Amino acid sequence: MAIYAISDLHLSFGTNKPMHVFGDKWKDHPLIVKENWLKIVGEDDYVLIPGDISWGINLEEADPDLAFIESLPGKKIMSKGNHDYWWCTNSKFRKHFEERGYKTLSILHNNAYKIGDYVVCGTRGWKTPNDDDFSQEDRKILNRELERLKLSLKEGQKLGGEIIVMLHFPPIDKDHMPNEFGRLLKEYDVKTCIYGHIHGKDNEKWESEFIDGIWYHIVTCNLINFIPLKVK
C-alpha cells in the first residue's frame, strides 16, 4: 500500500469550464492525469485530494467529475477547496455515493481516517493575516477552519498512527514559514502535510520543503506535472 496526493484537479465534465484558458499546459489535463494515475496507482493504494476538485456548482453538476475519480484505481480521500461550491453535508455525500454505487470515495470533514500505520486528518484551511487582502471576515473563517483542524487532529490521535494532514490552503506563508495552520501541526506532532491552492505562473518555484521537523508537500496538479505525488 502506498499513499499518493494530487490537488486542484479543477474537473469540469459536468460544466463548461476548461482549464486550458490558463495556459497550454492545462490542455486536456484530465486525460494526462488519468494516464499518469493508471501508471503508478494500484487498487490497494490511497490518493489524497485536498480540494478544488470540480467546477460544478452543485452535487449533480459535480457528479461526472466524481465518477471520473471513482473510475480510477485506488481509494480516494477528498477534502474541500475554496472553489468546491458543490460541497455538501456528510449525510448527503453518503446518500449520493450509495445511490451511484461509488465504493472508493471518502470525504474528510471534521473526521479522520486510519490507513495502515498512518492516520489522515485535515480541513480546507484559509488565508492568514500575512496575506495582503486579509479582512475581518477572513479572520472569522480562519478561526473556524483552525477549530475544524483541531477537531480532525483530535480524532486522528484517538485512532493512533503517524499523522498526515491534508489542507487546501498552504500552512506556510509567502516567506515559507509556518503560519497559524503550520504552528498547529507542530503542536500535534504532525510529520507530513500536503496542500494545494497555489498554482499560478508566479508560483511555479514552490516545491516540497522540510521545515522544523515537518515535510510540507505542495501537490497542486500542474506543479507536479499532473502526476500523483507519492508521500508514503
Give pLDDT tens digits for 44-97. Answer: 999 999 999 999 999 999 999 999 999 999 999 999 999 999 999 999 999 999
Residue 218 has pLDDT above 60, yes or no: yes
- Torsion angle in degrees (nearest 10) through CA of 114, 193, 205, 6: 20
Q: Which of 21-35, 98-112, 139-153, 174-188 has the lowest mean pLDDT?
A: 21-35
Cell 479572520 belongs to residue:
139
Mean pLDDT of the chain: 94
Distance CA 52, CA 93 (A): 16
Q: What is the mean pLDDT of residues 170-176?
A: 90
Backbone φ and ψ of 148, nearest 5°? -65, -40
Note the pLDDT tens digit of each residue in 111-143.
Answer: 999 999 999 999 999 999 988 889 999 999 999
205 pLDDT tier (thresholds 50, 70, 90): confident
Q: What's the pLDDT score for residue 17? A: 79
146: domain CATH number is 3.60.21.10
Q: What's the pLDDT score for residue 204? A: 65
Q: Which domain holds residue 170?
A: 3-230
Residue 195 has pLDDT above 80, yes or no: yes
199 pLDDT tier (thresholds 50, 70, 90): confident
Distance CA 232, CA 224 (A): 16
37 pLDDT tier (thresholds 50, 70, 90): very high
Query: Which alpha helices (H) appear in 71-215, and where do they start and end?
Result: 90-100, 136-159, 180-187
For the chain, what is the domain count? 1
20 pLDDT tier (thresholds 50, 70, 90): low
Residue 174 has pLDDT above 70, yes or no: yes
Contact 127, 168 (CB under 8 A): no
pTM attached to this predicted model: 0.95
Radius of gyration of the chain from its Cα atoms, rounded to whole angstroms? 17
